[in-house]
Amino acid sequence: MKSEFAGKLEGILGCVKNKAKIGILLVGAVIAGFNRNSIANNFNGGSLEIINIVNDPNFIINSHITKLLKEATDGYDVAYDMDYFPYLPPTKIAKIVSIIPDHELMIDARNIESLTPVNLELSLDIGTQRGALINVSNLENVLWCSFHSAGAPGFWDFGNKPVTLWERTIIDPNKSPNEPNNYALSFMADIREAIDKSDFYDNIYNLGVKTAKIPIDTLDGIYGSEIPYLCPQIRFNTFPGDLNLDGKVNLKDYAYWANCDPIADIIGVNGLPDGTVDFHDLRLFNRDYLKDSDDPNTWKDFLD
């Protein structure tokens, strides 16, 4: 009798095999049959809010909103972007901002077709000179992530774009953390999956919008005011199944799962990485299989 484990594996790998056959025979014809920009030009707008939560009532909660709008650009838009504004001391803030040239933004609006990553910075702000020392002990930190589409008419859920969160590990601390070649990426969450599988509704800040809680490292020790302790990045063209970050989801990525490599831990039952490489991770790989970050025509079944 076939074991339950073998049956599940056979079923999932069968889907992968069938996708591969279909892809080899048809993907060229499909791409040839559509204008390369046909899907890219029909992206939905979106609004994603990320709130930086620390377990200390003395810190004011700060949030960041990324919007994709037809009228916006990747640069500074006076009508749509909003700069971060500090409070007067001695106010303490759990700060989260995005960084673009000459601006720290609380609201960062990009064009609806933009695939430019959004570079975030998390820090503690005590409203005094930048770099002033802050001593904290075992301060729990979590990010609350939610789409506004459910509660705010006029906003959407980014359509068929992936919405993924990554941590940027800075390579040279003497250079800007926002230089493209000065960081390595590590996966944090597929925000769609995390929100979908969450049972938490933010009734304080977002009036009942379904919200994912993404835990990050506890803060412990001495930090500099407004000096980033975490540099996340929101990406709109990188799929969780692209484990080697080469822009394509293929059997090279599957090999990481087959070898139980820790980087293949991309999802668990709660929609977040759970420390185990198993069928949950293979499901996400199978969903993303044959997607190409440079060709939006391969994204169309992202939510299938």
Residue 182: inside a domain: yes
Last residue of one domain, picked from the residues 235, 259, 285: 235
Do 12 and 51 lie in one domain? The reply is: no
Residues 189-241 have pLDDT tens digits of 999 999 999 999 988 877 788 999 999 999 999 999 999 999 999 999 999 99
Do 152 and 269 lie in one domain? The reply is: no
Last residue of one domain, picked from the residues 185, 211, 235: 235
Last residue of one domain, picked from the residues 235, 256, 282: 235
Q: Which range, of 16-30, 112-126, 157-171, 212-226, averages the lowest pLDDT?
A: 16-30
Average pLDDT over residues 42-54: 90
Do 166 and 268 lie in one domain? The reply is: no
pLDDT for 35 beyond 60: no
Do 146 and 226 lie in one domain? The reply is: yes
Q: Cα(64)–Cα(49) distance, rounded to whole angstroms?
A: 6
Do 58 and 122 lie in one domain? The reply is: yes
User: Identity (one letter) of the amino acid at 128?
Assistant: T
Average pLDDT over residues 67-88: 93
Do 75 and 27 lie in one domain? The reply is: no
Residue 303: inside a domain: no
Do 199 and 264 lie in one domain? The reply is: no
Do 215 and 255 lie in one domain? The reply is: no
pLDDT for 31 beyond 90: no
Do 177 and 139 lie in one domain? The reply is: yes
Nearest 5°: the CA angle 227, 230, 231 is 100
In sequence order, what DSSP letters do the residues of 230-253 get, joined into one string?
Answer: B-EEEESS--TT-TT-SSB-SHHH
Compute the mean pLDDT over every residue in the chain, rounded to the nearest whole number: 85
Do 231 and 251 lie in one domain? The reply is: no
Q: Which range, of 101-105, 207-211, 276-280, averages the lowest pLDDT?
A: 207-211
Do 257 and 290 lie in one domain? The reply is: yes
> 11: how many CB neighbours lie within 10 A of its CB?
10
What confidence score (pLDDT) does residue 153 get? 54
Provide CB contacts within 8 A for 133, sequence distance 6+.
Answer: 222, 223, 224, 225
Number of compact structural domains in the chain: 2
Do 47 and 165 lie in one domain? The reply is: yes
Residue 304: inside a domain: no
pLDDT for 304 beyond 70: no
Range of the structural domain that residue 270 is part of: 4-33+239-298
